[in-house]
């Protein structure tokens, strides 16, 4: 993990969906932000007060204190930029989100690039310094090394040639070993808005990936198919 320094804008993410929280934090750190996370509303509110961030990404539906309440409470004494995330679409919710003092609003599901663009825009407006890109840690799993910053994957030191989505897929699995993910979950997490196919897209990429990471691609032991459920990365 990159060490926080004074030039990095501080972003607080309050979101109770584990996978989304992880993905948000990972992408924000990759952009050079110093990220803190909370999965409960009350924790998020406490963190925002104890160490005021430069920007808050705030889910609406949260255990503890909900996002709307947090936004109202913070607005009493703070003009920190707030982006609200909500699973509830529609104009009414949008207006509700803005009326309580949020600066921006993103209905779920949203694309990571869209979110990052809005974060940059809000920070620019509020005068926080542009993010300085910090080195990202290299992940290792068995004889693999993944460098998310360089977008390079190596096996036993040897560089693997990968399509961008194969790399994203391997990165995702490396970060979530020992858990079964359905094709739909994988599409959502790895492809997001870039997606123009069906669940078969996942199968095709898994097949390509296995050619590169499995000792015997016909009998996969690292990236396993779980019948009726999806895929599981053994790490
Ligand atoms: Ca939620």
CATH class of 139-233: mainly alpha
Is the per-residue pLDDT at 192 higher than 80?
Answer: no
Residues making up the chain, counted from first to last: 235
3-state secondary structure of 125: helix
Q: φ, ψ for residue 213 (rounded to 5)? A: -115, -10
For ligand 1, the distance from its centroid to the CA atom of residue 179, given in whole angstroms, is 21
Q: Residue 220 Cα, ligand 1 centroid: separation in angstroms?
A: 35
Please state, for a pLDDT cut of 90, what percent of the chain lies above it.
Answer: 44
Residue 55's CB is within 10 A of a number of other CB atoms, namely: 25
> CA-based angle 123:128:130, to the nearest 5?
80
Q: What is the pLDDT of residue 2?
A: 42
Q: Is the pLDDT of residue 9 over 80?
A: yes
Spell out the residues 6+ positions from residue 215 whose beta carbon is closer than 8 angstroms to its own: 221
CA of 186 to the centre of ligand 1 (A): 19
First to last CA, the chain: 20
Ligand 1 centre from 115 Cα, in Å? 17
Q: Is the dihedral of CA 10, 131, 195, 25 positive or negative?
A: negative
- The pLDDT of residue 217: 92
56 vs 6, higher pLDDT: 56
Q: Single out the residue of 20, 32, 31 nearest to residue 172, CA to CA.
A: 20
Q: How many A from CA of 37 to the centre of ligand 1? A: 14
Residue 143 in this model has a pLDDT that exceeds 90: no
Q: How confident is the model over 102-123, as pLDDT tens digits?
A: 888 888 888 999 999 999 999 9
pLDDT digits (tens, 9 = 90+) for 20-41: 999 999 999 999 999 999 999 9
Q: Tell me, in angstroms, the distance from the centre of ligand 1 to residue 207's CA.
A: 33
CA of 39 to the centre of ligand 1 (A): 9
Neighbours of ion ligand 1 (CB under 5 A): 16, 59, 61
Quote the pLDDT of residue 152.
87
CA distances from 5 to 2, 8, 14, 46, 134 (A): 9, 6, 21, 22, 10
Residues 209-234 have a mean pLDDT of: 92
Where do you find CATH 1.10.10.10 in the chain?
Answer: 139-233
- Contact assessment for residue 171 and residue 149, using Cβ atoms and an 8 Å cutoff: no
Query: What count of Cα atoms within 13 Å lies in the side-chain half-sphere of residue 180?
Result: 8
- Residue environment code for 123-151, b if the CB has 16+ CB neighbours within 10 A, otherwise e: beeeebeebeebebeeeebeebbbbbeee
Is the domain covering 10-126 a CATH 3.40.50.2000 domain? no
């Amino acid at each position: 993990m990159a060490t926080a320094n004074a030039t990095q804008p501080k972003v607080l993410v309050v979101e109770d969906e584990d996978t989304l929280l992880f993905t948000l934090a990972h992408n924000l750190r990759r952009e050079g932000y110093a990220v803190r996370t909370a999965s409960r509303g009350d924790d998020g509110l406490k963190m925002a007060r104890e160490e005021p961030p430069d920007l808050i990404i705030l889910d609406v539906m949260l255990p503890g204190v909900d996002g709307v309440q947090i936004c109202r409470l913070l607005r009493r004494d703070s003009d920190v930029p707030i982006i609200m995330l909500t699973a509830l679409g529609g104009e009414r919710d949008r207006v509700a989100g803005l009326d309580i003092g949020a600066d921006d609003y993103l209905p779920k599901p949203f694309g990571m690039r869209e979110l990052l663009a809005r974060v940059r825009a809000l920070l620019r407006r509020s005068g926080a310094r542009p993010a300085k890109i910090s080195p990202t840690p290299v992940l290792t799993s068995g004889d693999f090394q993944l460098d998310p910053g360089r977008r390079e994957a190596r096996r036993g030191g040897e560089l693997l040639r990968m399509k961008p989505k194969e790399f994203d897929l391997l990165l995702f699995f490396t970060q979530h070993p020992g858990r079964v993910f359905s094709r739909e979950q994988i599409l959502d997490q790895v492809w997001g808005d870039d997606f123009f196919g069906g669940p078969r897209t996942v199968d095709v990429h898994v097949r390509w990936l296995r050619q590169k990471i499995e000792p015997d691609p016909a009998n996969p032991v690292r990236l396993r198919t779980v019948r009726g459920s999806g895929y599981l990365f053994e790490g």
